[in-house]
Amino acid sequence: MNALAVQLNEKMQKENPVIFDMLSDLGKSLYYPKGILSQSAEAGKKAHRFNATIGIATENGEPMHFRHIQEKLGYAPKDIYPYAAPQGKELLRSIWKEKLLKDNPSMQNKSIGMPIVTSALTHGLSIVADLFMNPGDVLISPEQYWGNYNTVFQIRRGGRVETFPLFNEQNGFHVEAFRETLTKQKEKAIVLLNFPNNPTGYTPSISEAEAIVQVLKDVAASGTKLVVVLDDAYFGLFYEDSIKESLFGLLADSHPNILPVKIDGATKENYVWGLRVGFITYAATPDVLDALEQKTKGIIRGTISSGSHISQTILLESLQSEEFLKEKEEKFQIMQSRAIKTKEVLANEKFASYWTYYPFNSGYFMCLKLTNLDAETLRLHLLDQYGVGVIASNKTDIRVAFSCVEASDIEELFDLIYQGCQDLTK
């Protein structure tokens, strides 16, 4: 094993051997090399005469570039063309952390690391998988989960996904099913919670969130090591009757056997999907945080090398803009109005013979639970006969993204789904 990896491992073992034991074999081997990037960083501070280190071209004192590209961009060449650091632009990291602290009051005065920039949220999840999942390790998630988790954790890393019912008979978060599933894990588990949930659009209430945290603390107290991953892709889109912050802050510093990991994506929060900017943030003691950052940088260096510089520049400018909060609230109101309209439409009793729907109070989506109809059959029929696209998430469930349907069109959308159901039951 490389000496730098050994140093990081020794630091973690001394500070918190439990978190060190959570690492996968790959995670234990990872480190950030003292190679071209670190030497170039040193040169950037001291090489006042010539800096002949990193593999870019320069011209007239700035990064070389094509005029026909630069003419279309409103940013300085230095903020577009050079490589960003593997961990991301430092000012962007700082401002995102300020945003986290403002948006999540429970994070205040906790030992939380600096967010590390990822190539959007999926990249952050894959970093978690690489760092912590060995073949055969268990990932615990509600039954309704984003299908890409299978690729990230099962196919890539050989993990096993074990699920629990998301909802109880009262249509609230099924705390007891969560407890029952989690207590079966006696050594280690990765727990992945996604609120607002994709596909159902559900976020727990304050009391449910507190109960979830208590279950995790109880299981940790029994000796099980827990990596708790908060997939906060749709953070902030809380419309009614739910907790208004991430569980990350409630879990930070909660128990030595719990490592909270927050995965964010500016993609959906800030409506910049194609920019592919996300963040991964850890909560641990300072030495562990430093070791995890170095290992995370090692993964980034060994996979994508670094994220898009211009995307980070655009996001940074947006976060600093005086218009940011105003425009974000405008978009929130649009999204909330679509969710409200969806519930108003679904109140029509005529739909009851074909479906019920899972509770939803947040996010981009909601899910219909079909009665005596196959979801894939209905999906194809709606597409072929009515030009309506929906997602069949399993045999009984249809996911509808109200996020991309104007409020004025939502009634027509569900009427067409209803018509499709009638067609298939004639």
Residue 58 lies in a domain: no
Residue 47 lies in a domain: no
Give the CATH number of the domain where residue 409 resides: 3.90.1150.10
In this structure, are 313 and 332 located in the same domain?
no
In this structure, are 128 and 174 located in the same domain?
yes
- What element of type H or E holds 194? strand 188-194
pLDDT in tens, the chain (426 residues): 899 999 999 999 999 999 999 999 999 999 998 866 666 766 666 766 666 777 889 899 899 999 999 999 999 999 999 999 999 999 999 999 999 999 999 999 999 999 999 999 999 999 999 999 999 999 999 999 999 999 999 999 999 999 999 999 999 999 999 999 999 999 999 999 999 999 999 999 999 999 999 999 999 999 999 999 999 999 999 999 999 999 999 999 999 999 999 999 999 999 999 999 999 999 999 999 999 999 999 999 999 999 999 999 999 999 999 999 999 999 999 999 999 999 999 999 999 999 999 999 999 999 999 999 999 999 999 999 999 999 999 999 999 999 999 999 999 999 999 999 999 998
pLDDT at 51: 67
Residue 386 lies in a domain: yes
pLDDT at 34: 81
- The whole-angstrom separation of Cα 97 and Cα 369 is 39
In this structure, are 418 and 339 located in the same domain?
yes
Residue 73 lies in a domain: no
pLDDT at 47: 64
pLDDT at 53: 72
pTM: 0.94
In this structure, are 186 and 270 located in the same domain?
yes
Count the neighbouring beta carbons within 10 Å of the beta carbon of residue 159.
23
pLDDT at 426: 82
Residue 81 lies in a domain: no
Q: Check: CB of residue 117 under 8 Å from CB of residue 293.
A: no
The last residue of a domain, from among 277, 296, 320: 320
In this structure, are 187 and 211 located in the same domain?
yes
In this structure, are 145 and 276 located in the same domain?
yes
How many structural domains does the chain have? 2
Residue 25 lies in a domain: yes
Which residue in this structure is represented by tokens 């590390």?
116
- 77: cis peptide before it, omega within 30°? no
In this structure, are 160 and 192 located in the same domain?
yes
The last residue of a domain, from among 268, 303, 320: 320
**Is 54 exposed, middle or buried, given 0-12, 13-18 or 19+ CB atoms closer than 10 A?**
middle
pLDDT at 37: 65
In this structure, are 257 and 364 located in the same domain?
no
What one-character DSSP code corresponds to residue 306? S
In this structure, are 259 and 380 located in the same domain?
no
In this structure, are 316 and 331 located in the same domain?
no
In this structure, are 400 and 253 located in the same domain?
no
Give the CATH number of the domain where residue 274 resides: 3.40.640.10
Residue 61 lies in a domain: no
In this structure, are 149 and 293 located in the same domain?
yes
Residue 54 lies in a domain: no
Q: Check: CB of residue 48 under 8 Å from CB of residue 40.
A: no
The last residue of a domain, from among 259, 291, 320: 320
- What element of type H or E holds 298? helix 286-303
Q: Identify the domain containing residue 366 by its residue range.
A: 323-424
- The whole-angstrom separation of Cα 100 and Cα 264 is 10
Helix, coil or strand: residue 171: coil
